[in-house]
Amino acid sequence: MITKPKGTYDVLPGETRRWVKLEEVIRKICALSNYEEIRTPIFEQAGTFHRDESDASDMVNKETYDFLDRGGREMTLRPEGTAGVVRAFVENKLYTNNGITKLYYLGPMFRYERQQKGRYRQFSQFGLEAFGSDSPLLDVDIITTAINLLEALGLKGIKVRINTLGDKESRDAYRKVLVDYFTKHKDELCEDCHIRLAKNPLRILDCKVDKDSKALLEAPKISDYLNESSKKHFEMVKKALDNLNISYTVDEKLVRGLDYYSNTVFEIEYTSTDFGAQNVICAGGRYNDLVSDLGGPKTSAVGLAFGMDRLLLALEHEGIEIVKPKRLHAYLITLGENAFLKGVSLVSELRKGGIMVDMDYNQKSLKAQFKEADKNNAKFTLILGDDELTKGLINLKNNDDDSKTTIELEQLYGYLLTHLPSKKCNVCKEGKE
Ligand code: ATP
Ligand code: MG
């Protein structure tokens, strides 16, 4: 038997409905905050992600799916959304509008990782990117939109952690101090941190291996090396979050896995104790140099990415059901050849009129067909036999109260329309539930 690749999973019927619903809620929240969808390729030229030698992130160094296409070109399956969106932003000159460009994306990402609950080789992210302003309040717009999504989904037990990495000047000053400090404490660091020390010493701070070591706990803090404008930026972010009543904690060890961040960085955790280790559901920050790194004009930007798989796992863990059980409006049972044939056109007409209806194509026994109606959780079971058909009648059973009635076939559509709940879809505001 051929099986799925390690680190991937099939989303089966039932589960897909949760994904579609999550996407619907995301799109609605994005529309409310004026973020527009962008769709970029799932693979990009390798250089989009493998930009320079100094990148010490595991994601870029160890986790990408790199391949040569049949023309010998180096390609990479996207491990994250930001680089591709920035590439598209530059290539399509979206910066020429001179204002703020707010984009969102969602879709699969690929990383060669060790599989565990909440960590896969193919997973999905939803992300926001806002270009064209250095305002700390745009950072807050991004964080607020994330909180709005979590509120719309009803997920509780959320913790927001924020930090600042300062602007380039502050970071350079801090980096120098860190290198001196960690060079003195090199013996206390893990092998990976030796590489980080040479490539990107800030990343030592979020090393999972060394996190409780004395060297890390006593390391110099970024807050002591921020210049005035970096301090002001961070103060403004905190003040605006306070005004919005969004609670957060400042975590000076938060530096994020990717190397392109500056100033604000943040993570959102789902804190339920027995959820498991992979509890960071959203992460983001400001990246003022990425657009120019990818060949565009200097453009400030800030963004975030949600792990959609982890978000759905957290909702499940919290017992939050975002979709109702599947329910057909009607299920048609037929008895006899003529009724069977008529049934096909009846079902087709009803479907055109917006009625969710199905029928049995195996012409099973009456009992078996009733079972099918049950299995599909039909509100009405419609029973059409050759006898009724000649009289132009059809039998109906309302499965909510088991009441039965016989009506004229011609009145069926009108009857169903008036007897089905007419709740509008709360996302598109159209149609029957
Ligand atoms: P982690 O520390 O868990 O490896 P990360 O820093 O690599 O996370 P980001 O690159 O910031 O993660 O991606 C944003 C979000 O995407 C994460 O917070 C997480 O929710 C989700 N995510 C990242 N990698 C995976 C994965 N392999 N499987 C499922 N979700 C993931
Ligand atoms: Mg990772």
Distance 86 CA to ligand 2 centre (A): 20
Atom of ligand 1 nearest to the CA of 278: 3
Q: How far apart are CA 347 and CA 37, in angstroms?
A: 36
**pLDDT at residue 255, rounded to an integer:** 85
- The ligand placed nearest to the CA atom of residue 284 is 1
Mean pLDDT within 67-73: 98
Closest CA to 263 of 359, 360, 386, 134: 134
Distance CA 313, CA 317 (A): 6
Return the ligand 1 atom nearest residue 58 CA.
Answer: 7
The total of other beta-carbon atoms located within 10 Å of residue 202's CB is 18
In whole angstroms, give the CA distance from residue 344 to residue 340: 7
For residue 344, how far is its CA from the centre of ligand 1 (angstroms)? 48
- Which ligand sits closest to the CA of 125? 1
Give residue 59 CA to ligand 2 midpoint distance, Å: 6
pLDDT of 433 strictly over 50 = no
Q: Do domains 15-167+227-317 and 330-432 have the same CATH topology?
A: no
The pLDDT score that the predictor gives to residue 423 is 55
Q: In this structure, which topology does domain 330-432 adopt according to CATH?
A: Rossmann fold (3.40.50)
pTM of this structure: 0.92
Give the pLDDT confidence score for residue 345 in this predicted structure. 97
Q: Could you tell me if the CB of 215 is within 6 A of ligand 1?
A: no
- pLDDT tens per residue across span 135-155: 999 999 999 999 999 999 999
Is the shortest distance between the CB of 111 and ligand 1 below 6 Å? yes
Determine what percent of the chain is predicted with pLDDT higher than 70: 95
CATH 3.40.50.300 fits 15-167+227-317, yes or no: no
Give DSSP secondary structure letters for 386-405: HHHHHHTEEEEEETTTTEEE
Count Cα atoms within 13 angstroms, Cβ side, for 261. Answer: 27
DSSP 138: H
Of 278, 302, 311, best ligand 1 pocket probe by most atoms within 8 Å of the beta carbon = 278
**Matching residue, tokens 């008895």:** 335
For residue range 214-267, list pLDDT tens digits in order.
888 899 999 999 999 999 999 999 999 999 999 999 999 898 766 678 899 999
Cα-to-centroid distance, 206 and ligand 1 (Å)? 14
Pick from 167-171, 183-187, 318-322 the range whose average pLDDT is largest.
318-322
- Looking at the predicted structure, is the pLDDT value of residue 427 above 50? no
Over residues 328-338, the pLDDT tens digits come to 999 999 999 99
Instruction: Judge if the beta carbon of residue 307 lies within 6 A of ligand 1.
Output: yes
277: pLDDT strictly greater than 80: yes
Domain ranges of the chain: 15-167+227-317, 330-432
Question: 367 C-alpha vs ligand 2 centroid, how far in Å?
Answer: 53
Residue 63 structure tokens: 């986790």
Residue in the structure block whose two tokens are 């990408």: 64
Model pLDDT for residues 152-182, shown as the tens digit of each residue:
999 999 999 999 999 989 988 998 999 999 9
The SS3 of residue 145 is helix
Q: What confidence score (pLDDT) does residue 58 get?
A: 72
Structure tokens at 6: 């390690």
- The pLDDT tens digits of the residues spanning 80-114 come to 999 999 999 999 999 987 799 999 999 999 999 99
| Structure tokens, 192 | 């990976």
- Alpha-helical (H) ranges within 218-365 are 228-243, 290-293, 308-317, 337-352
